[in-house]
Each structure stands twice: as structure tokens, then as C-alpha cells.
Amino acid sequence: MANVPPASAVVNRYAGRVRFDVLEEHLEEVDFLFAQRALLLTSQRHTLSDLDASEQRLLAHLDGLLAGEAEAYKLLLPKFVQGEGGEVFAVAYTVLATADAAWLELLARMYFDNAQGPVLDGLCAALRLVPHSANVTAVVAPWFTAARAPLRAAALDVLGFRRDPAVMPLVRALLDDPEPAVRAAACVAAGQLRDYSLRERVERELSASDDALRRAALRSAMLLGSTLVLDQCRAAVQRHAAEADEADEALRLLGYAGQAVDLPRVLAALSEETLVSAALAALGWMGNVAAIETLLDYAGHPQHLFQVAQSFQRITGVDFGAEQLLSASSAAPAAQADSARGGASADETALPNPDKLAVWWSAHAAQFPAEQRLLHGQPFTLGGMLLLLEQAALAQRGEIALALALMDAALPHIESTAFAVVQRTQCAACGV
Amino acid sequence: MTNSTSQGKDTADALVTKAITATGDEYFQSERALLARGAAAIAALQQRAQDPDPVARFVVKTLLDWIEGRAADNDAALQYLDAAEKRYARTPVGNPPPTGVARYLVEHYAGRVTPVLTLRLIKEDSWPHWRVMAVLFYVQQYPDKELLAPLTHFAATTTEAEWRNEAVETVNVIRGVKRAQSLAP
């Protein structure tokens, strides 16, 4: 045993032998996989398992950089000055995962505090995802009192994303920030952490004049169990013509909440062309078979078929492929629908044939109870939601996580863009 | 009288700001002006001694030390570098050998001129290769945490791969994760 060198000596001995070209390969792969991960999260075809597989590759290449840390700085340090998304993510992740307190403090004050644009984006991605909480806190703690509003908002974003309860007192303080963007970030963090003591404070922002702040407050107040926010959503749907964006969000939130009393309101919103997509989505989340006939009415419109299919599936759980309901030319409308939703990857979502769908419903409608909220043909339960979260397309998981959180005030708001392994831990904490 | 004092102080503040932010000739003008003011520049420098930027703090501290007592060593070391350049320019080699220069600095100044040479390293726009490498080899012999920020800044911003690699080696030596380059002939 006496001949075993100390760990530091082993590290030093190997540090000089790390091959630079191998580190370059690791950095290139991290850059690529980071971009791929961002695309995956918008996929209508890939699931949490696919994300997990991609992340295992990403983490393996990050391990390569971590193993060559001292040597890797020859490659990584310039990225703080002129890097972009994935490269900055790689260097920030390496620093956060390996740096001792003094080195981290130095780099944080030299580079992290001055980050802007793509550098700040890559840095925040690393701060959200890296498992080393103490180092993350050390970096962002001074940001809460930073002169630059984007840093204050980033600090809230990072710790809210990580569901770090240490941020709660700071959220309260920054809800009074003079910058609407910071108050919006504070509202989001309050909802993410489900800090019910902030409900009334968040509700005050429901009437804010800043659109982004008001919308952040809307979603957050919902997560904090506000009853006021449901009335606000209902009112927003009523005055849809003037504030289509807010009405769109309000409709979706009413859908996630799933209260039967709102069904007529959601159906009425279909008369407004700009709200049809949100209303169809809401009908799916409400899980009421009374809405199926209405969904079928809209299945004949190619621009709405994607949303109809999703909502139909969300209520009934029908497998379009197994039931031979697929349209022969489903790829093109799917691409159109994806494009209409704002550029999410089109993927190869298989869409049903509207006529076959109507025939199938005629034959099977009697199987579905009319008085229950349904999710994939089953009563709307925690277990069902968790299963859906595991199996659903990645692009849909954000709203599933929100609907899950709205089921029960005691449930966590699962972060649908965290590393898959973290999400699965959060799901396990739900107690099923 | 009040106006003239205020104007003088503003100028000193401006010189300090320029010393922190500028490089090349613009930096040297402000460095010369601050050193010429001597004790009169101290108050302006001390105002920036707690700057949140670690590189700015290093620049200020090095200039303060220069004014307050390191002038002889600093001036002599810089003169040695100039003299070595002239002497070797007449030889077939053309440039002084970096490890030899580093050895000379170790033997004559120990670690006393690491701050001023690191300051020049980050402020010079046109240092030749031998000077950059000599200073990095020299600084490695006296790992000083105060030099981490400027050397990290140099490594992150230089466009020369060899300089960046040696600067990172130096940073790693100061951090204690690497051993210093040997200066043995």
C-alpha cells in the first residue's frame, strides 16, 4: 500500500499524456449532441427513452473532457470569449463539474458575470443541467443582486429549473424587481417550486400591463392553486378577439385544469378561428367524450387534423396504426401542422384518416364512460399521467408535466427538459 | 482651486480606467502618466482596488506596488529584456533563448517581478515569441494565485496556439495540477 501514489499524483501523471486531438473530438461531439438534444426536445416522434440514449452519449463525451480537464482548458478557455451554444455549454459544464472553489470563483467573476447572448445561453444550459448544485449556487448567488437584469432573471431561471428550494426567499424579493422580465422569471420560479406562500403576490401580476409578465403569472398562479386565475382565464377566453395570444394560453390552461364546467366555454371558443387550435387541444386535455363529435367535425380540415388526432388519442387512447386508421398520405399534413405550430420539427407523426376515425368512433363510443375525465381511455389518474410522461413524444411532455402538477397541489412540477435521469427521479418522487 | 483639483482627479481616474481597459500604446501612455504622477496617482488607483473584475484588480495592484516600492526591480527587469533583445539581435540566433531569459530572471529577481512581467504580457500587442515564452516559463517557477486571472485572460484571448498552450500550462501550475517547466540547461 505504501507504494500507491496519491490520487493527485496519478492525475498529474496522466494529465500530461492526454491527447489533444481526442479532446477536440469530445468537444465537437458535445457541441453536436447539445444541438441534437435541443431538437429532440421538440420532437413529435421521440420519447424519454430516446432522450436518455442521446444524453448518455452526451455525458460520455463530457466525461472525456472532464478526464482531461487540465489539458482541455487549452481548447476550452477561448470558448468563454468567442464560443457558441454547445461549446460554451461544454466549457461551463467542465468548469462546474471539476473546478475547486477558487478556480470556479475566478472564472465565474471573469466570464460568467459578463456573459451575454449565445455565451449566456450556453452557460445557463450548463447551470441548469450539471449535477453539482453547490457550484451552481456559488456562480449564480451574486447574480440576484447584479446590476444587469438578464443576470437576475437567469439566476431565477437556473435555480427554478433545478427546483432548488434555496431560491425561495430570493424569488420573493425579486417579485418586486423594477424590471418586468425579472418579475416574470420570479413568477415562473414560484410556480416551478410550488411556493404557495407566493400565490397572492403572483396573482397581483395577473393584471400586469407587460404581456410576457402577465402570461408567466397566469401559468404560475395556476400551479399555485389560484382560483382567481381560472376566472382570469375564463375572462381572457371571453375577450379573445382583442387578446388572442392570452386567450390561447388561457384555453390551454383551462384544458389542463380539466373542469367540466368549462367545457361549454371551450366549445364556444371554436367559433373564433385564431383559437381553434388551442380549443381543440383543451378538449383533449379535458378528457370528456362529449367533445369527440366536435373533434371529428374538425378532422376534415387538414390544418387542424394534427391537433384533432392528438386530442382524440388523449381521450380515447386509440392506436391509429393498430386500428388501421392511418391515412395513406399522413406525412404531408403532419408537416403542415408542425409548421403551423411554430417550427417544431415536423417528424413523421402518422395522422389518421378522418373518415376511418369517424367510423371507428361510431363502433367504439359505447365503451367510454361519459361522466369521467379520461386520459388515453382510462380514468385520469396519477399513474396514467406518469406513464404518459414516460411514453409521450418529447414535444408534448411539457404540457403533460403541467397537467400532472395541476392534478394535486402536493405533486412536484416535473421539469420536462431536465436530463432524463433527473426527470425519472422526479417522477419516482411522485409516489407511484 | 476646487475646480483644478477636481479636474486633476478626473484625469487620474480616466488614466486608471484606460490602464485597465486599453492595450498597446494607449495602455503605455496611461502607465507612464500614472507612474510619473507617483503618489498623486495612488488615490485614483485605490478607488479601483475592489473592482469586481479580477483582471482589473490585478492591473491596479501591480501599478500601486510599482509606485509604492517595486520601481527599481520592475524597471531593471524590463531594461534587461530590452537589452537582451538588442544583444541577441547581433547573433546568428537572432533572439534570446526563452529558458535562458527565464533563468536570468529567476537568478536576479526571484519572484519579485512576476506581477510586472505578467502585466506587460497582457498589455503588449506586439511582444515577440521569445518574450512571451520566457515570461511564461519564469512565472511558472513562482506559482502565485494573484496571477491566475491575468494569465487565464491571456490564455483565453491570445490567437497564438503555442502561447495559449503555455499560458494554460502556467495556469495549471499555479492551480497545482501540473508541475512547472524545468529551466535546466
Could you tell me the pLDDT band of residue A332, with boundaries at 50, 70 and 90?
very low
Instruction: Please tell me the pTM assigned to this model.
Output: 0.84
Alpha-carbon distances, residue A333 vs A45, A221, A326 (angstroms)? 15, 36, 12
Q: What are phi and psi of A409, to 5 degrees?
A: -60, -20
Q: How far is B68 from chain A (nearest CA, A)?
A: 26
- Number of structural domains, chain B? 1
Q: What mean pLDDT is reported for chain A?
A: 88
Same domain, A41 and A112: yes
- Cβ-proximal residues to B3 (8 Å cutoff; 6+ apart), any chain: none
In a domain, residue A150? The reply is no
In a domain, residue A169? The reply is no
Q: How far is A81 from chain B (nearest CA, A)?
A: 7
Q: Is the ipTM of this complex over 0.90?
A: no
What pLDDT is attached to residue A430?
85
Report the distance separating Cα B179 and Cα B173, nearest Å.
6
What pLDDT is attached to residue A185?
97
Same domain, A20 and A135: yes
Query: Between chains, do B54 and A102 touch, taking CB under 8 Å as contact?
Result: no
Strand partners, A375: A378
List the single residue in A70, A74, A106 with the smallest CB-CB distance to B152: A106
The mean per-residue pLDDT over the stretch A413-427 comes to 95
A96-126 per-position pLDDT tens digit: 999 999 999 999 999 999 888 888 899 999 9
Query: Between chains, do B156 and A78 touch, taking CB under 8 Å as contact?
Result: yes
Asked whether the predicted pLDDT for residue A386 surpasses 80, the reply is yes
- Cβ-proximal residues to A254 (8 Å cutoff; 6+ apart), any chain: A230, A233, A234, A237, A262, A265, A266, A282, A286
Which has the minimum average pLDDT: A194-208, A259-273, B3-17? B3-17
Same domain, A408 and A329: no
The mean per-residue pLDDT over the stretch A400-420 comes to 93
Query: Which residues in chain B are closer than 8 Å to A15, comparing Cβ atoms?
Result: 172, 177-178
A161-197 per-position pLDDT tens digit: 999 988 889 999 999 999 999 999 999 999 999 999 9
Q: How far is A62 from chain B (nearest CA, A)?
A: 20
What pLDDT is attached to residue B2?
41
In a domain, residue A237? The reply is no
In a domain, residue A395? The reply is yes
The parent domain of residue B114 ranges over 2-175
C-alpha cell at B115: 506581477
Q: What is the DSSP string of A364-376?
A: HGGGS-TTS-EET
* Side chain identity at residue B67, one-letter code: I
In a domain, residue A190? The reply is no
Same domain, A361 and A422: no
What pLDDT is attached to residue A329?
63
In a domain, residue A50? The reply is yes
Q: Residue written as cell 524545468?
A: B182
Query: Which residues in chain A are closer than 8 Å to B177, comparing Cβ atoms?
Result: 8, 11-12, 15, 69-70
Asked whether the predicted pLDDT for residue A250 surpasses 50, the reply is yes
Same domain, A73 and A135: yes
Same domain, A123 and A43: yes
Q: How far is B26 from chain A (nearest CA, A)?
A: 22
A44-91 per-position pLDDT tens digit: 899 999 999 999 999 999 999 999 888 899 999 999 888 888 999 999
Same domain, A118 and A40: yes
Same domain, A48 and A2: yes
Chain A residue set in contact with B, beta carbons under 8 Å? 8, 11-12, 15-16, 69-71, 73-74, 77-78, 80-81, 100, 102-103, 106-107, 109-111, 113
A288-325 per-position pLDDT tens digit: 999 999 999 999 999 999 999 999 999 999 999 999 99
Same domain, A81 and A43: yes
In a domain, residue B185? The reply is no
C-alpha cell at A227: 382560483
Report the distance separating Cα A305 and Cα A276, nearest Å.
11
Asked whether the predicted pLDDT for residue B138 surpasses 90, the reply is yes
In a domain, residue B130? The reply is yes
The domain boundary, picked from A366, A393, A422, lies at A366
- Number of structural domains, chain A? 3
Same domain, A332 and A400: no
Same domain, A21 and A136: yes
Same domain, A2 and A137: yes
The domain boundary, picked from A142, A162, A187, lies at A142
The mean per-residue pLDDT over the stretch B126-136 comes to 96
The mean per-residue pLDDT over the stretch B41-61 comes to 95
Query: Helix-strand-coil percent breakdown of chain B, rounded to 5?
Result: 75, 0, 25
Q: How many residues does chain A have?
A: 432
Percent of chain B beyond pLDDT 70?
95
The parent domain of residue A96 ranges over 1-142
What pLDDT is attached to residue A69?
82
What pLDDT is attached to residue A239?
76
In a domain, residue A319? The reply is yes
Environment class of residue A164 by beta-carbon count within 10 Å: exposed (0-12), middle (13-18) or buried (19+)?
middle
Chain centroid, CA A119 distance in Å: 21
Could you tell me the pLDDT band of residue B90, with boundaries at 50, 70 and 90?
confident
Query: Which residues in chain A are closer than 8 Å to B153, comparing Cβ atoms?
Result: 110
In a domain, residue B183? The reply is no
What pLDDT is attached to residue A245?
77
